[in-house]
Amino acid sequence: MFEKMARAEERYNELTQLLSDPEMPARQDLWQQYSRELAALAPGIELYHRYRGLERELAEARELLQEEQEGELADFLQEEITRLTGEIERVTGELRESLLPRDPRDEKNVFLEIRAGTGGEEAALFAADLLRMYSRYAERKGWKMEIIDAHATDIGGFKEVIAGIEGKGVYRRLKYESGVHRVQRIPATESAGRIHTSAATVAVLPEAEEVEIEISPQDLRIDTYCSTGPGGQSVNTTQSAVRVTHLPSGLVVTCQDEKSQLQNREKALRVLRSRLMDHYIAEQVAEQAEARRSQVGSGDRSERIRTYNFPQNRITDHRIGLTLHQLDLSLDGEIDEIIDRLAAATKQKQLKNAGG
C-alpha cells in the first residue's frame, strides 16, 4: 500500500509541476486532464502526509517514554502513544479506501429510465411512485431533474418514463438503483383486499459525452410524428416528436417532451449516447465475470434488488439484506440510508478482494 502511495505522491508532484507551467492554460485539453487527475489524487496524498506525520509523532513519543519511564510525563506519553496508535489505524483504513479503483463515471449526470414490468396497471402506478421517489430525492440533493420522454396511462401511471438528472455526484449516488424493484400492496381496484405483487425496472445510465461515444449520421434513422398523451391521443398537430433508431445496435429512443423537433432530436441523441455507452460497457463486463463478482449484486437488470411492502410499511434491499420499516419516508425521497449502506458494502467487498 505504501509503495502505491509513494508512486501517487511522485505523480502528484509531477502534475503540480506541469500545471505550474505558464503555457499550460493555453492547452485546455491537457489542462483539464491534469487538473482532474490532480484533484483525484489530492485527498489520498493529504491522508498520506497525515499518516507520515502521525508516525513521526509516535516515534518521538516512544523515544521520550524510554527516557521518562515514571511520573506524570510518563503517564501523559503513554496516553499519547495510545491515542496516536488509534489515529494511525484510522488513517491507514482511510488510505486503503483511497487506493480503491474509482469509477470515472461517478460525477456524471444520468438518465433515469423506469419501465412498468409484470402487474399491468398496478405496475404502471408503481413506476409513477418510483419516479416521484427519485424526484423528491433529487430535490433533497439540490439536483435538477427533467422529463425527457414519458408514456403515461389513463389512470396516472407510466408504462415508461425517462428523466435526465443533473448535479454533483448524481451517478455516484444513483448507480445502485438499477435493477428490478418489486411492490407488494392491495391495489385500489382489488375489492377482496388481496395483496398483489408487481414490478418495475429501473436503469441508471451515466450521460455519455460526444467525445466518448461517436455516432455516425449514416448509422441513424430519424422519424418524426405527432406527440401523444395517455391512451394515444394526439396532443398537438405538428410533427415535433422524434424517434431515433441506431441501426447497428437496434437501439431506439423517442422524445416528445419539447415542442421543438430540434430540441427533441438533441435530447434523444443524448439518451442514445448513454444507452450505447451502457451497452458497450455491459459487453465488456460480460467478458470479465470476475470483475462482476467483485461488486454488490450482479448488476443484472433481471435481478430483483428491492421490495416495497405497503401493508408492513417495509422496504427491503435484497443485495445487502437490509430491511427498514419506513417505506413511507423512502417513497418521499429519504433513501440516503439505503444508498449509504450499499456504498459501504461495495467498499468492504473491494477491500476484501484487494487484500485490505
Q: Look up the CATH number of the domain holding residue 249.
A: 3.30.70.1660
Question: Is 93 inside any structural domain?
Answer: yes
Question: Is 296 inside any structural domain?
Answer: no
Spatial CA neighbour of 157 closest among 206, 104, 119, 185: 119
Question: Is 356 inside any structural domain?
Answer: no
Which of 40, 68, 98 terminates a domain? The answer is 98
The answer on 312 and 238 residing in a single domain is yes
The answer on 158 and 263 residing in a single domain is yes
Residue 265: left if φ>0, alpha if ψ -120 to 50, beta else—which one? alpha
Question: Is 293 inside any structural domain?
Answer: no
Amino acid identity of residue 221, one-letter, is: R
Question: Is 103 inside any structural domain?
Answer: no
Q: Which residues fall within 8 angstroms of residue 333, CB to CB, at 6 or more apart?
A: 133, 134, 135, 136, 137, 138, 139, 140
The residue whose grid cell reads 418495475 is 200
Sheet holding 179-185, edge to edge: 144-152, 158-166, 110-116, 196-206, 179-185, 304-309, 314-317, 322-324
The DSSP bridge pattern shows strands 179-185 and 304-309 to be parallel
Q: Which residues fall within 8 angstroms of residue 15, CB to CB, at 6 or more apart?
A: 34, 37, 38, 41
Do 255 and 146 touch, CB atoms closer than 8 A? no
Grade residue 291 by pLDDT with cuts at 50, 70 and 90. Answer: very low
Look at residue 259 and give its three-state secondary structure: coil
The DSSP bridge pattern shows strands 179-185 and 241-246 to be unpaired
Amino acid identity of residue 270, one-letter, is: R
Beta bridge partner(s), residue 50: none
The answer on 115 and 94 residing in a single domain is no
The answer on 318 and 171 residing in a single domain is yes
The answer on 149 and 234 residing in a single domain is yes
Q: Residue 329 has what pLDDT?
A: 97
The answer on 115 and 10 residing in a single domain is no
The answer on 67 and 115 residing in a single domain is no
Q: What is residue 69's DSSP assignment? A: -
Cell of 236: 398537438
Number of compact structural domains in the chain: 2
Q: How far apart are CA 105 and CA 261, in angstroms?
A: 30
The answer on 54 and 138 residing in a single domain is no
Reported as a single tens digit per residue, the pLDDT across 8-67 is 889 989 999 999 988 888 888 788 888 888 888 888 899 889 999 999 999 999 998 888
Average pLDDT over residues 146-163: 92
Which of 98, 124, 153 terminates a domain? The answer is 98
- Residue 147 belongs to what domain range? 110-287+301-347
Question: Is 229 inside any structural domain?
Answer: yes
Q: Residue 299 has what pLDDT?
A: 34
Q: Residue 210 has what pLDDT?
A: 62
Please say if the pLDDT value at position 7 is more than 90: no
Question: Is 105 inside any structural domain?
Answer: no
Question: Is 308 inside any structural domain?
Answer: yes
Reported as a single tens digit per residue, the pLDDT across 62-86 is 998 888 777 888 889 999 999 999 9
Reported as a single tens digit per residue, the pLDDT across 111-146 is 999 999 999 899 999 999 999 999 999 999 999 999
Share of the chain above pLDDT 90, in %: 44
Grade residue 203 by pLDDT with cuts at 50, 70 and 90. Answer: very high
B/e letters for 106-115, b = 16+ CB within 10 Å, e = fewer, are eebbbbbbbb
DSSP line for 205-250: EEPPPTTTS---GGGEEEEEE--B-GGG-BS-SS--EEEEEETTTT
Q: Residue 26 has what pLDDT?
A: 84
The answer on 210 and 158 residing in a single domain is yes
The answer on 138 and 191 residing in a single domain is yes
Q: Exposed, middle or buried by CB within 10 Å (0-12, 13-18, 19+), for 127?
A: buried
The residue whose grid cell reads 420522454 is 149
For Cα atoms 159, 147, 118, give the angle at the middle one, nearest 5 degrees: 20
Grade residue 308 by pLDDT with cuts at 50, 70 and 90. Answer: very high
The answer on 89 and 119 residing in a single domain is no
The answer on 209 and 64 residing in a single domain is no
Which of 69, 98, 127 terminates a domain? The answer is 98
pTM, two decimals, is 0.67
Instruction: Name which residue leads in pLDDT, 232 or 112.
Output: 112
Do 192 and 255 touch, CB atoms closer than 8 A? no
Instruction: Name which residue leads in pLDDT, 152 or 297.
Output: 152
